[in-house]
Chains A and B, each alone.
Chain A
Amino acid sequence: MSLLQSLLGGTLIGAGAAVLLWRNHQVAGISGITASLLRGDSGESHWRLAFLAGLVAPAIVAGLEPSLMRGSLATYAVSGLLVGIGTRVGSGCTSGHGVCGISNLSPRSLVATLAFMATAMLTVALVRHGVSP
């Protein structure tokens, strides 16, 4: 991935979140939108389904490769469980806190983002490089 692609992708993510905020008055937090659908929040769920359908459509069209998933099943299961619990207890994920909350100058989101970035970096360091005795 080139630096330009990373930047261009970011501006598209920001544009998508901007459209949802401006037209739907909603925060583009993927974990929050998913959890609301799981709760079966009545009435206003059609925009959530439309957003998620749009979200995955480019991956289907581009034919995202299954080989991107190189880890073990157990790792993915444990990881998913922690991501699910953590994003509910902490009220957001990379998109809701890291992009939308920080853009909205939310102190809560800044704290959450610093916390999950630091913890994720620490986790990678421990898994890849271990702890020196």
Chain B
Amino acid sequence: MSFMSALVAGLLFGAGLLISGMADPANVLAFLDVGGDWNPALALTMGGAIAVLAPVAWWSRRRRDQASGAPVGVGRSRPIDRALVIGAVIFGVGWGLSGICPGPGLLLLTTLAPGAIAFIGSMIVGMVAATKLVSRVSAPDG
């Protein structure tokens, strides 16, 4: 049942963010502070996640290729374009200012701290605005 598996997936993901220290902005900023008192621990988080997911992603690609049709929603060969890099750079500046990216932002929202509400509120504004802009600028693709 897709509802239950998505719930379980979210629970695992959310517990992982919490345990790893990704939900503590100070910890994330320490990871990003390579020129200062660098704390590289979160590299293990990313590495651990990729180590678990990569074999499943490989298996999933293989299964999709064998079945042909029924797109898995990954592996689409879109080109590396300007929007990808510009967007990533804008995101990087935002992430570096606070140490918060979308997943941890949603976890921090549960504290109802004013800063978390401000972060998620303006993130939503940014997403809605950018979605409108992108759909106006770029030609519709698949």
Tell me the A residues contacting B by CB distance below 8 Å: 1-3, 5-28, 30-31, 34-35, 38-39, 46-48, 50-60, 62, 64-73, 75-91, 93-95, 97-108, 111-113, 115-125, 127-129
Chain B residue, CB-CB nearest to A98: B46
Q: Point out the residues of chain B lying under 8 angstroms from A73, CB to CB.
A: 114-115, 118
Q: List 22 A-B contacts (CB under 8 A).
A: A3-B44, A6-B44, A9-B45, A10-B16, A11-B48, A12-B13, A28-B13, A50-B6, A53-B7, A57-B11, A58-B18, A68-B25, A73-B118, A86-B126, A90-B83, A90-B87, A94-B95, A94-B102, A100-B74, A112-B88, A120-B92, A123-B93
Question: How many Å lie between the Cα of A124 and that of B33 in the bound state?
Answer: 6
A125 touches B34 (CB 8 A): yes
- For the complex, give the distance between the alpha carbons of A17 and B8 in Å: 10
Complex contact B131–A88 (CB within 8 A): yes
Q: When the two chains form the complex, which single residue of B2, B48, B61, B126 contacts A83, counting CB atoms closer than 8 Å?
A: B126
- CB neighbours (8 Å) of B139 from chain A are none
Beyond the given A16-B10, A58-B11, A99-B49, please list 7 additional residue pairs across the A-B interface where CB-CB is below 8 A: A16-B13, A35-B127, A50-B3, A59-B107, A69-B25, A76-B100, A112-B84
The smallest C-beta distance from B80 to any residue of chain A, in angstroms, reads: 5
Q: Separation in Å of the B13 CB from the closest CB of chain A?
A: 3
Interface residues of B in 119-141 (CB under 8 A from A): 119-131, 133-134
Which residues does B use to contact A, with CB under 8 Å? 2-27, 29, 32-36, 41-42, 44-54, 56-57, 60-61, 70, 72-75, 78-80, 83-98, 100-103, 105-116, 118-131, 133-134
- Which residue in chain A gives the minimum CB-CB distance to B115? A69
Main secondary structure of the interface of B (DSSP, over half): helix
In the complex where A17-B9, A88-B127 touch, is A83 in contact with B94 (Cβ < 8 A)? yes
Query: How far is A83 from B121 in the complex, measured between Cα atoms in Å?
Result: 11
Residue of A nearest to B97 (CB): A79
Chain A: which residue is nearest B64 at the CB level?
A25
Contact B96 A119 (CB under 8 A): yes
Contacts of B84 in A (CB 8 A): 90-91, 108, 111-112
Q: In the bound complex, what is the Cα–Cα distance between A64 and B36 (angstroms)?
A: 27
Question: Which B residues touch A7, using CB under 8 A?
Answer: 44-45, 47-48
Report Cα–Cα, A25/B2, bound state, in Å: 10
Q: Can you name the residue of chain B whose Cβ is closest to the Cβ of A70?
A: B26
CB <8 Å contact, B5 and A19: yes
Residue of B nearest to A39 (CB): B131
